[in-house]
Every structure is written in C-alpha cells, then in structure tokens.
Structure 1
C-alpha cells in the first residue's frame, strides 16, 4: 500500500467518531487494508485500524471472521502493540468460539498458542488482553487437555500478583469452564 493511500485511510480513522467508523469505515478503506494497517509502525494508526477491523468483523453475526482467519491469526501473532492485541485477541477468541478447533492446522494452533502464552508471560500485559488470552487458552484446551493445568497455574499466578475485579471475574468463569473440560 502506498503512503498516499495510508495517509488517506489514517485521516479517516483519526477524524471520524466511533459510530461513523463502525458503520461506514468501509466507504474509505477495505477490510484487507485495515488488517494490513493493524501492523503499521505508528501505534495510533495501528490501534485505530485494529479497532475498526474488530468492529467490522464482529458485525453481522461474525460472518466474516472465518473468511479472514489467516489474516487475524497473522496480525495476532506478529503484533506487540497492546491496543492492537486487545482487538485481535478478541477476534481470535471469537473465531475459536465459532469454529471446530480440530479444523486448525498445526501451524495455526502453534501460532495462537505460542503468542497467547507469550502475551501472558509479559508483566505489562493489560487486564483486557490477559482476560481474552484466558478464554483463548480455555477454548484450545478442549482439544488439548494439557493446557488445562497450565492455564490454571497461570491464572493463580496472575491473581496472586493483581486481583482486579475484571481479572477475578474472568478467572472464575474460565476456571469453571476448565473444571468441565477436565471432567471430559
């Protein structure tokens, strides 16, 4: 994508309200361009593109997520921008909810798994991203039971460090799901 096109899309992302972006961003850019810009080196541009892509992909009963799974997994795996990862961890979580996890090939599975554990290992990880990562690992654990114990330990460690209401709430929900998975 050339710089002039990037500048035009960036202007639309920066200048319009959330409601306009959610409902009309595709008048200014394509979903493919938003996915590409989610890895842009200017953090604000990457964040706005990721946020817009998230809202476009989650519209209409998540009907586009499966079609764009390769791009979603790619951005999720490559990004180190917490704002971008907030949107893309949610997209990965939604994708895994919608699909049969056995349909993930080994590379996709490993990519999601490695990135998710890497994110959780980072002490700078924001709570919203951390909570989404719990759900991602919980969803993967239904097919790979060894993740259950790893995730339980991770949640316990996180709670011993930082007991925020959001973290406690999500940890309880995920722990209940893990108990059901462990029984199967």
Structure 2
C-alpha cells in the first residue's frame, strides 16, 4: 500500500495529464471564431489624433461630434480558446484587439441603425470613468455580443482620460459632454 504523499503525487500527476489532454484536443467552440470581426457603431466627442493605429484613432481631449464604427477581432489563442471562453467578461475583453476604426456620416449611421433595429428599441451604451477609446470599443463590442444587441446597439464615448489619476478631469469632461 502506498503512503499518502505518494498517492497524492499520483493523483496530481493523473489530473495534470487529463487537463493537458483536454487543452490539447481541439473542440468546436464559439470563441474559435477569432477570424470573425465584430463591429459596433459609435458617437464620440473625443479628438481625432491622426494616428494610423486604430487603437489610438481618438484621444482624450474634447472635440466636436464624430460618428463611425469600430471593428474588433479576437486574438487567436489556439488550444487555450476553451479556457478563454470560460473566463469572466472583464478578462475576455483583454483577448480582443481593435482592428479598424472608420468614420462615417452621423445621419447615415442613424439611418443604418434605424433600418437594422426595425421595431426594436435601440440600446445606447455610455462608458464610465477611466476608459480610453480602445478599451471602450472592446467593452462595447463584448456588451453588444453578450446581450444579443447587434443591429440595435450604439456606443457613446465621451473624452475620458483613461487614467485613474485623472478622475476629476474625467468628471469635468463628462459634464461637458452632456447637452444643456
């Protein structure tokens, strides 16, 4: 008869072997649609940066109203995809990358939203403090997907600094963003 420490070591080794097999075996998964890009329409009062990098297309300064869409794609995690799928939304957001930001005419965007929403009420998402444009875009796409709001979802991004230390700046920018 084995002693308790050697029995425990055997159980741990067997568990690790089973877990390794589960990770290594491909399984169909909705998270494996990393090739599928998801888009969300937006309105923003952030400044255009002129950057060629879509993650920094809009900054943290105040500006006039802009409209457009933000396209996000999942990072390919290979065999770890099933683990990513089981992660909480706050972690799954980190597996997304902003791939493209396109500006459009606001009237055209509203017409498209009205056409795709049909008779369903649209949902408008306004992010909170400490959210830069890129993070807001990733969160908006995830919320739209998780709530099944595609076709009737609109994200509004006010000029948050995206930095925890600038809460008072964010507060002033938020109040500035609200129409009188």
TM-score range, shorter chain: under 0.3
- TM (norm. structure 2) is 0.26
Larger RCO, structures 1/2 (Cα 8 Å, 6+ apart): 2
Q: Which structure: larger Rg?
A: 2
